Amino acid sequence: MRRSLFASTLILAALAVALLPAPSHAQGRSDQLPLPPGGFKPPPPPPPAPVKPYTPVAVTLPGPYADAGFAAFRKQLAEVAQHKDRAALAKLVVAQGFFWMQEPGKDSAEKGKSGIDNLADAIGLDAKDGSGWDGLADFAAEPSAAPILPDRPGMICAPAGPQIDPKAFQALVESTQTEPFDWGYPAQDGVEVRSAAKPNAPVIEKLGLILIRVLPDNAPAENGSMPPFLHVATPSGKTGYVATETIASPGNNELCYVKDANGWKIAGFLGGGGED
């Protein structure tokens, strides 16, 4: 799916924890259990819940971050990404104190490295296929941002998260017997659902701004990239296909910015690392 929003990730992670069964204190430690011949084999994953109609849960998309200086900074960042100018990028990154949160509360940035070097590690700036620079260009094109880190006042991260009623979302997950991360949402109103994974297949439905169930058979392509279409289930109970870039999903990456006396700078990254 598209790069998505860490704010909604926090909501979904909390719901995921709430829906987990309570641990049993009567269980023994795993290192005290005898292993079967041939070693431990994990059980196969349970089959996905059957597709059935569900109650739509509204999603309110974020608007642009209202700061003229931030808009100008993003334009400058886009030019740097286009020209793959690492020296110019270094001037747009905090020299010290860059953070990289691959999981909440854990900073993966190396203290002895400069901000630009830690950013390069985080987004895969040195990847041979140029995907790190492409990702940076995507961030530069993102107009939304929000202050989502309470322990870092004045900092904003982008993209901003949508507004979702957490109670309604929890009820949706429970009623469909799914997991929180089985859900995404349209990046805009009116996304077309087609009968087959082809751009010219008949349109069977159009999506409003609601949570949409993404089915588990969307295997990545051989090169690890996402397929061009996603298999989804709509609230009516129909299944169909939508263009991958039209669906946003929780659990992906965000770039964080801070404003100092000289303007905006990249200050951190939330998410998994890029590849070389």
Q: Which domains does the chain have, with CATH numbers?
A: 68-161+253-270 (3.10.450)
- Give the chain as a 3 state SS string: CECCCHHHHHHHHHHHHHHCCCCCCCCCCHHHCCCCCCCCCCCCCCCCCCCCCCCCCECECCCCCCCHHHHHHHHHHHHHHHHCCHHHHHCCECCCCCEEEEECCEECCCCCCCHHHHHHHHHCCCCCCCHHHHHHHHHHCCCCCECCCCCCCCEEEECCCCECCHHHHHHHHHHHCCCHHHEEEECCCCEEEECCCCCCCCEEEEECCECEEECCCCCCCCCCCCCCEEEEECCCCCEEEEEHHHEECCCCCEEEEEEECCEEEEEEEECCCCCC
Per-residue confidence (pLDDT) for residue 46, from 0 to 100: 73
The 10s digit of each residue's pLDDT in 14-51 is 444 444 443 333 333 333 444 455 555 566 667 888 99
Q: Is the pLDDT confidence value at 11 over 50? A: no
The 10s digit of each residue's pLDDT in 57-97 is 999 999 999 999 999 999 999 999 999 999 999 999 999 99
Please state the pTM of the whole predicted model.
Answer: 0.71
Instruction: Indicate the pLDDT class of residue 212, thresholds 50, 70 and 90.
Output: very high
The 10s digit of each residue's pLDDT in 142-170 is 999 999 899 999 999 999 988 899 999 99
Q: Which of 3-7, 121-125, 216-220 has the lowest mean pLDDT?
A: 3-7
